[in-house]
């Protein structure tokens, strides 16, 4: 047990090296159920569901590994009129000795291309606040000057943009939620946290297998400066517009199982479990993610069958 704890601490130190050591990029938060919280990665999605949409998501990653990431996000987005959508979101991300809170505002504008497709353009503005508490680490050299001063609510702004094309059956989007490559913390020449640019490409299509069953394959590609391309592939089935069951694969990282239920026309709950396929899987019991979406319809607004995206 002591050996396992030591191994976990070494893994944790490696994971937070981007917060305490040199030149490693801080990664944006990762979600298995991103398709139900698309506005977090693409501001053009704001208002695209044509209802007031309130979303909450909580993810605890690598359960059993001390100091592993825990992420919570809350977002709200709504159409203002036929052309404009707005959104706000708050994200809290904790890993080891570091915690970061991001507050974002989203703006979207759409144009009708034809009877089937609408094209959305979006802008995002974000304020990030970073905290690092070095007392939570086992430091080899307690006198190291780089580990003496904690970081408290270090502010860094960012901006993002995206495009999103949708119909009743298909969607594709391209976005960069954080365009600026900001250095959030720089102590001398050996200690800094740098946020690098991430680009997301998403797409999916809904097939009607029968009057009661819909099938939606979807893909997310994430490109990060200085890192390998990451791919998430998922396949979800919707039964009777109520129950969603699916599987997903994050390339060279994890397999996932997803489930969701449309409790009422305006309320949906979802759950996902990730099984790690890397060597890190030997030291944790997987990742859990829960999701809740509440949507408000106008009194004179027709309630459509729950859209699959």
Q: Are 233 and 246 in contact (CB under 8 A)?
A: no
Q: What is the pLDDT of residue 144?
A: 62
The CA-based angle 221-255-90, given to 5 degrees, is: 60
Q: Taking the CB of residue 147, how many other CB atoms lie within 10 A of it?
A: 19
Name the stretches of the chain with pLDDT < 50.
Answer: 1-4, 6-7, 10, 14, 16-26, 189-191, 304-305
Q: What is the pLDDT of residue 148?
A: 61
The residue count of the chain comes to 309
**Burial grade of 244 (CB within 10 A; 0-12, 13-18, 19 or more):** buried
Q: Taking the CB of residue 73, how many other CB atoms lie within 10 A of it?
A: 22
Residues ≥6 apart with Cβ < 8 Å to 85: 46, 47, 48, 77, 78, 79, 106, 107, 108, 109, 110, 120
> What six digits make up the tokens of 136?
């939570």
What is the CA 148 to chain-centroid distance, rounded? 32
The percentage of the chain sitting over the pLDDT mark of 70, rounded to a whole number, equals 80
Segment 249-267, tens digit of pLDDT: 999 899 999 999 999 999 9
Q: What is the pLDDT of residue 280?
A: 85
CATH code, 1-8+34-296: 2.40.160.60
> What six digits make up the tokens of 25?
């990029």
Q: Are 50 and 80 in contact (CB under 8 A)?
A: no
Q: What is the pLDDT of residue 302?
A: 53
Q: Are 272 and 250 in contact (CB under 8 A)?
A: no
Q: Taking the CB of residue 29, how many other CB atoms lie within 10 A of it?
A: 20
Q: Are 43 and 107 in contact (CB under 8 A)?
A: yes
What's the CA gap between 94 and 101, in Å, rounded? 9
What's the CA gap between 76 and 78, in Å, rounded? 7
Residues ≥6 apart with Cβ < 8 Å to 92: 71, 72, 73, 99, 100, 101
Q: Which of 98, 59, 123, 97 is nearest to 195 (CA)?
A: 98
Q: What is the pLDDT of residue 282?
A: 86
Q: What is the pLDDT of residue 279?
A: 87
What's the CA gap between 57 and 250, in Å, rounded? 19
> What six digits make up the tokens of 246?
């699916």
Q: What is the pLDDT of residue 300?
A: 58
């Amino acid at each position: 047990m002591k050996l396992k704890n030591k191994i976990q601490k070494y893994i944790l130190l490696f994971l937070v090296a981007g917060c305490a050591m040199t030149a490693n990029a801080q990664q944006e938060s990762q979600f298995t159920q991103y398709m139900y919280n698309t506005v977090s990665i693409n501001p053009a999605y704001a208002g695209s569901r044509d209802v007031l949409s309130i979303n909450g998501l909580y993810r605890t990653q690598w359960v059993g590994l001390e100091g592993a990431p825990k992420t919570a996000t809350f977002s709200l987005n709504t159409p203002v009129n036929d052309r404009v959508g707005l959104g706000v979101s708050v994200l809290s991300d904790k890993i080891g000795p570091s915690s970061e809170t991001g507050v974002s505002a989203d703006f979207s504008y759409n144009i009708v291309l034809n009877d089937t497709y609408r094209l959305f353009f979006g802008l995002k503005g974000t304020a990030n606040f970073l905290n690092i508490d070095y007392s939570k680490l086992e430091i080899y050299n307690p006198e190291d000057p780089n580990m003496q001063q904690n970081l408290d609510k270090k502010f860094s702004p960012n901006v993002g943009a995206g495009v999103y094309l949708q119909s009743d059956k298909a969607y594709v989007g391209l976005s960069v939620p954080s365009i600026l490559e900001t250095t959030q913390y720089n102590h001398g020449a050996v200690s800094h946290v740098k946020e690098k640019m991430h680009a997301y490409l998403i797409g999916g299509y809904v097939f009607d297998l029968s009057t009661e069953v819909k099938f939606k394959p979807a893909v997310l590609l994430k490109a990060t400066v200085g890192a390998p391309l990451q791919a998430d592939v998922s396949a979800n089935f919707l039964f009777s517009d109520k129950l969603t069951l699916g599987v997903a694969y994050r390339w060279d990282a994890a397999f996932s199982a997803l489930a969701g239920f449309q409790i009422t026309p305006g309320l949906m709950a979802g759950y996902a479990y990730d099984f790690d396929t890397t060597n890190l899987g030997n030291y944790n019991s997987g990742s859990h993610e829960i999701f809740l979406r509440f949507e408000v319809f106008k009194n004179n607004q027709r309630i459509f069958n729950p859209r699959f995206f």
